[in-house]
Every structure is written in structure tokens, then in C-alpha cells.
Amino acid sequence: MPTRRILAALTAGFAAVAGGVVTPATGGRLSYGKERLKRGSKMLAAVGAVTVALVGLTPDNAFAVSGYGYDGRWADQTPCGSDARTVRSASVTTSTQLGEVYGKVELRYSPTCRTVWARVTTPVLPILQDATVFRNSDYHTMTCNGRLWSDSLHSYYCFTAMLYDGGVTSFAQADIGRSTYEEPAYGETGNY
């Protein structure tokens, strides 16, 4: 719908600049004099190029990045999030003998972008929740900390920005704390 409005506005603007007139006699088409038509043709070419540039910009194709250019970008703001899958996961558990499970850490992967990121989830409101994704080849990391609620996950969560993972391995780790009186629970995924 916005595209139609943009095109209509550009067409109306072109008619005004080129001196065209829309009349019932022309069947609703623009009518121009010969000299104005030449000037209008050049204007139409310029307006057409701008229209293609503006209308062609969508969130998916406006993000022309690849490889290490994805480092630090957010999966949900790129095409990378659309085919994401969890490739490794681990429980986030306490270090006590009981090993109580506080949540889960996941290493998320996008085959299209060849990127990874970490996500941590817990169903109980934590006082501390963070996750980190590590790229083994250069020890580059991305970290998140926060407590956002997700109805679809039925959990509080945070996820990191992405790291490019083409031809290398990465892993994720997370901490979840429920009390200031105890050590946070910890979990770490395997490499992928």
C-alpha cells in the first residue's frame, strides 16, 4: 500500500513539473506539448531511478552484509533470523550437589548467513541473566544481559548479537542468578 502512494505522488509530481495535464478528453492520460515532453522524459527517467531505489529498499535487501560484516549485528534485524535453529544447547545448573536447573543456554545458527549467537532462557524472573557467544578462532565474543519476557518461549530471555562462523567453531555460555546470596547457575554448550 505505501508503494502505491509513493508511485502516485511521484507521478503527480512529474506531471506538475513537466507541465502535463490530465483531462477527460485524454482518457485520464497525461497530455504534453512536444518541448515539455522532451523535458518530461528526462525527468521521468530520473524519477524512475529514484522510485526503483526507494521502492526496492526493504529490510531484507537493504542489509547487504556478508561474512565478518555480520559481527555485532542483531539476527532479528537481518535475514539471518528467518532460518535460525538451535545447534547446541545445555542446561544452566547450580554448582551445588543438587544441580538445580535454572534455565537453558542455546547456540543459535543461521545457515544462510553462517552466523551464530547465544540465547539464554529461564521461566523464573532472575536477578542476573547473561549469555555470551565465543568464536574459537579469534576469541571474539558478544554478550547480552537482560530479562525480557517472551510469550512464545514462556521464559525470560536475552540473546547476543551475531558472530560470523564460516569455517570456524563457536560455543555459548550463560549465567542465571536468582538470589544475591548464592552463586549463579552456569551452563555451556559444546562447539559447533
Burial 94-114 (b: 16+ CB within 10 A, else e): beeeeeeebbbbbbbbbeebb
SS3 state of residue 75: helix
Per the model's pLDDT, the better-predicted residue between 43 and 134 turns out to be 134
pLDDT-based confidence at 127, cuts 50/70/90? very high
Q: What pTM was estimated for this model as a whole?
A: 0.67
Average pLDDT over residues 162-187: 94
Outline where DSSP puts E strands in the chain.
21-22, 30-31, 85-93, 101-110, 115-122, 128-135, 140-145, 148-150, 155-159, 163-164, 170-177, 185-188
Average pLDDT over residues 73-78: 94
Would the pLDDT of 163 be above 90?
A: yes
How high is the mean pLDDT of the chain? 78
CA 125 to chain centroid, in Å, comes to 26
pLDDT-based confidence at 179, cuts 50/70/90? confident
Per the model's pLDDT, the better-predicted residue between 61 and 176 turns out to be 176
C-alpha cell at 95: 554448582
Average pLDDT over residues 109-130: 96
